[in-house]
Amino acid sequence: MPTYSDAVIEHYADRFIALRLARYGVSLAQYLADPKRYEERALEPEPPLPQQRAVALRLWWAWDTGLAPRGDGSESTPLPENFQDWRELLAQWRAEAEQAERPLAHLPQRNGVIVEPLHHHRFERRHNADFTKRGA
């Protein structure tokens, strides 16, 4: 491990704090090992805070899909006209799937797959087969 003078540590520690590199998961020891690499990383946008990420995901979810969680009515933003709760959609899809499967429910199934029992064989069975013959 390299040894640094106090002046060098103070200089780079001040830069470390000013660049807010701790937000990127970088420690001071990592920064001191390769300052140029991490100073370039400081130019990238900071990752959002958990609260910011939750809000961004909620907004994206509502804008992209038209599906947003229904609140208790205390929200200041009005819901769009095409708003539909995802729980209602799931219930609707399940009902449609059950309705489509109802005519097929009486058919025999094996592991959930509809099977049709075969009532024929490819070759008739020979009851008097003699396997001792040549070429048999």
The single-letter DSSP state of residue 122 is S
Domain coverage including residue 109: 50-69+79-114
- CA–CA dist 29, 4 (Å, integer): 11
Q: Are residues 110 and 62 in the same domain?
A: yes
pLDDT, tens digit, 9 for 90 and up, residues 78-135: 666 777 777 888 999 999 999 999 998 888 888 888 888 777 766 666 666 666 766 6
For the chain, what is the domain count? 2
Helix (H, G, I), strand (E, B) or coil at 109: strand
Say if residue 105 is in the same domain as residue 57.
Answer: yes
Please give the structure tokens belonging to residue 109.
């199934």
Q: Whole-model pTM above 0.85?
A: no
- The pLDDT of 24-50, averaged and rounded, is 85
- State whether 22 and 57 are in the same domain: no
So what's the pLDDT on residue 125? 65
pLDDT in tens, 4-21: 888 989 999 999 999 888
Whether residues 64 and 102 share a domain: the answer is yes
